[in-house]
Amino acid sequence: MNTLVNAYRDAYRRAHEDPEGFWSERAEALHWERRWDRVLDASRAPFYRWFTGGRINTCYNALDRHVEQGRGEQAALIYDSPVTGTVVRLTYRELREHVARFAGALAAQGVGRGDRVVIYMPMVPEAVVAMLACARIGAVHSVVFGGFAPHELAKRIDDACPVMVISASCGIEGQRVIPYKPLLDEALKLASHEVGGCIVLQRPQASAALTPGRDLEWSEALASAAPAPCASLEATDPLYILYTSGTTGKPKGVVRDHGGHAVALAWSMEAIYGMRPGDVFWAASDVGWVVGHSYIVYAPLLAGCTSILYEGKPVGTPDAGAFWRVVSQHRVNALFTAPTAFRAIKKEDPAGALIGRYDLASLNTLFLAGERCDPDTVHWAEEKLGVPVIDHWWQTETGWPIVANCRGLTPLPVKPGSASVPVPGYDVRVLDAAGAAVPAGQIGNIVIRLPLPPGTLPTLWRNDEGYRESYLSRYPGYYLTGDAGFIDGDGYVWVMSRIDDVINVAGHRLSTGAMEEVLAAHPDVAECAVIGVADSLKGQLPLGLVVLKAGVTRPHPELLRELVDRVREHIGAIAAFRHVAIVARLPKTRSGKVLRATMRAIADSNEYTVPPTIDDPRTLEEIAEALRALGYAGPATSR
C-alpha cells in the first residue's frame, strides 16, 4: 500500500475514531481570537455544535490574515464578465479595503452583530464584498439568487426578518437585462416584515428608481463610511442563512456558523481539491447557490487562493468555448462546475473543436457536482481535456463535499458514475426502509451517522423542529440525505437518484439514474432524464426524455428504438422501458438541476407548482406537449 493511499485512509480513520483530535488539528490553520473550550459539544444532541467557546472572525481569516502574512498583492478575486466585456482583478489588500469600507457603511446604517441582511444581487464583485462585509461585523447574510420571483423573495424576507436588503439595479442573463429593483419593490410590498432600508448598486445597463427615505445608492452609502474593524464573534454565531425549497412551500433556512464552517472549508481546499495558496480556483456557479457561497467566496479566500467570479454562461457568451477562454486567460488550476454545464458544451461542440483554440496547460483537474454525472460526460471531458475528471457529491445542507476523490490526500482510481469515497469526517451508510444496513451493491437510502462534521448545518433558521422532522426523524442517530444509491465492495458511493426517483416497477425497486446512464451513453444523446409515471398494472413505468446533440439528423423512430433496446439490454426487461420522447431541452433550475419531480407530476396529470428557481417556465409546456404525444399528461395544472 503506497503512502498516498495511507494518507486518505489515515485521515478517514482518525476523523472517525478521534473526531475532536482530528478537527482540532485542522482548526490550528486559522487565526482564533480565543481558543475553544470544547471541540465537539454534544450537550444538546442531536443539535451538535463545534468549537464552542472559541472566538473567530471569518472575514479576518479570509482577507486580513493573508495581507498581514505578506499575500496582500496577490489577486484574491478576478471578476470576468463576458456579458459586459469587463475583467477586474482585486488583490487581497484591495478586496480587504473594499470590504472594510462597506462594512463601515453597513454599521453607519445601524447594522450590527446578529442582524440579518438579505443580498439580492447578480454576479458582480459587490456581491462578494457585501457577503464579506456582513461577516466582518457579525451580521448574518442571506443571499437570494438575483432575479428570484417577488413572492419567493418575500417568503425569505419574512423568514429571515432582515434589517436591510442589498440589491442591484439589474442582472444580465445572456443577452437579456433583467431589472431587479421592480422585483425587489414588489417583494417588499408582499412581505409582512418591514425592512428598514435598502442599498442599491446602480449598474450602467439599467438604472433603478430609488424610494426616498428607504433606498440608498451604493456609492452614496460609501461616501462618508469609515473602514470597520473585524468584530469578535463566537465560533457558534451564525455566519449566513441560505434558503432551500421545502416540501411544504415554506423555504428552509440552512444555517452556517463561523467556526466550524471556516475550519471545514479551509481544509477542504487542500485535502479535496488539492489547492495551495496562490493557486487559481474557479467554481463556475452563482453566489446565490451553496457552491457560490462555499467555493467562490469563502473557501478559496480562506485558503489564500485566487477565485474567479464569472458573470456568463457555459454556452452563448459568446459560444461553447467560453469556459476554455476563462481557463486560458486567467491560468485556472482547477475548474468546478455542474455536469449540466458540460452537457451543454458537449451538445454544442460534440467534437470539442473549440478546446483546441486555447492553452489549457494550467488546468490540473475538473470537478463536477450538483447533479449525478453520467459516465459518458466524464469520459468525454477526460478525453477532450486530458485531466482527471472528479465527480463528487454534497448538498446545500452540508456546505462542503460528503463524498469525493480527495486529490490532496489520495488520488484514487476514478469510477465513472460514482462520486468516489466518503470524505474524512463523514460516516456514510446505506439503509433499507426499516433502517437495516443493506449489502454492498444494493440500492437503499443514503444516510450519514451523527454527528455531522464541522461546516454542516447545525439546524434550520429558527426551526429546530423542522430540522429534526426533515432530516433526523426517519432514522434516529442518522442524517437522511434524501438521496438513494449504494456502496460497492471497494467502498465507493454511487448516488443514483433522489429517494423519490427510485421507482417501483411491479415490486422491483429500480434507479432512474441507472437508466439515464444507459441513455446518456448513446452517441447521439446530449442529455437525458428518466421519470417514473403512474401505471395501473405495474404501479410505475419508466419514461425517458432525451435531448440530442447538435447536428443529429437521423430518423427519430429508428433512434427511439435503439434507445429502448439499449435500456432493455443493460437494465433488463424487468425495467419495462418502452417510451422515449425527444425534446429540445429539459426543464431545469438556474443551478442546473433537472426538474424530475415536476415532470413526473405533469405526466401523471397532477397539480404541480412551478418552481421559483426554474430557468425558463416555457420548458414545462414543451415537456407537457411531448408527454401528451405519448399518451401521458392530461389537463395538469400549475399553481
Residues in the chain, total: 639
pLDDT given at position 19: 98
The single-letter DSSP state of residue 371 is: S
Q: Which stretches within 191-293 are classed as H helix?
A: 218-223, 259-271, 290-292
633 with 627: CB under 8 angstroms?
yes
Band of pLDDT at residue 11, cut at 50, 70 and 90: very high
Of all residues in the chain, the percent with pLDDT exceeding 90 is 77
Q: Which fold has domain 3-312+392-485?
A: Rossmann fold (3.40.50)
What is the residue whose three cell numbers read 399518451? Answer: 631
What is the per-residue pLDDT for 639? Answer: 54
Provide mean pLDDT across the span 158-162. Answer: 97
Residue 597's pLDDT band, with cuts at 50, 70 and 90, is: confident
Please state, in angstroms and rounded to a whole number, the distance separating the CA atoms of residues 278 and 280: 7
Mean pLDDT is highest, among 74-78, 532-536, 548-552, for 74-78
Residue 42 cell numbers, joined: 454534544
Residue-wise burial string across 350-367, b where 16 or more C-beta atoms lie within 10 A, e elsewhere: bebebbeebebeebbbbb
So what's the pLDDT on residue 503? 76
What is the tens place of the pLDDT at every residue in 92-128? 999 999 999 999 999 999 999 999 999 999 999 999 9
131 is written with which cell numbers? 457577503
Residue type for position 226: A
In the predicted structure, residue 635 carries a pLDDT above the cut 60: no
Banded model confidence at residue 5, pLDDT cuts 50, 70, 90: low
Nearest to 458 by CA among 58, 40, 156: 40
What pLDDT band is residue 568 in, cutting at 50, 70 and 90? confident
- Mean pLDDT in residue range 509-529: 87
Average pLDDT (370-394) is: 92
> Residue 194 corresponds to which amino acid?
E
Dihedral, 304, 309, 314, 320 alpha carbons, nearest 10: -80
CA proximity to 632, closest of 565, 522, 544, 504: 544
pLDDT digits (tens, 9 = 90+) for 284-319: 999 999 999 999 999 999 999 999 999 999 999 999
What torsion, rounded to 10 degrees, do the Cα atoms 563, 564, 566, 567 define? 120
Please tell me the least confidently modeled range out of 207-211, 274-278, 462-466, 623-627.
623-627
Min mean pLDDT across 246-260, 395-409, 519-533 is at 246-260
Tell me the per-residue pLDDT of 188-216, one tens digit each, with 9 for 90 and over.
999 999 999 999 999 999 999 999 999 99
pLDDT of the residue at 1: 36
Least reliable range by pLDDT among 291-300, 355-364, 407-416, 571-580: 571-580
Residue from 399, 516, 500 nearest 445 by CA = 500
How many other β-carbons are positioned within 10 Å of the β-carbon of residue 313? 18
Lowest mean pLDDT among 312-326, 361-375, 522-536, 604-618: 604-618
- How many alpha carbons lie under 13 Å from residue 555 in its C-beta half-sphere? 3
- 337-353 confidence digits (pLDDT tens): 998 899 889 989 999 99
Pairing of strands 508-511, 478-487: unpaired
In the predicted structure, residue 634 carries a pLDDT above the cut 70: no
pLDDT in tens, 209-245: 999 999 999 999 999 899 999 999 999 999 999 998 6
Asked if pLDDT for residue 534 goes beyond 90, the answer is no
What totals of helices (H) and strands (E) does the chain contain, helices first?
20, 31
Longest dimension (CA), the chain: 72
Hey, which CATH number is domain 506-629, 3.40.50.620, 3.30.300.30, 3.40.50.2000, 3.90.1150.10?
3.30.300.30
Any bridge partners for residue 580, and if so which?
A: 544
Strand-pair category, 444-449 with 428-431:
antiparallel
The pLDDT value recorded for residue 371 is: 79
Lowest mean pLDDT of 131-135, 366-370, 549-553, 590-594, name the range: 590-594
Domain residue limits, the chain: 3-312+392-485, 506-629
- The helix (H) or strand (E) run that includes residue 403 is strand 403-404
Query: What mean pLDDT comes out for the span 349-363?
Result: 96
pLDDT at 2: 47
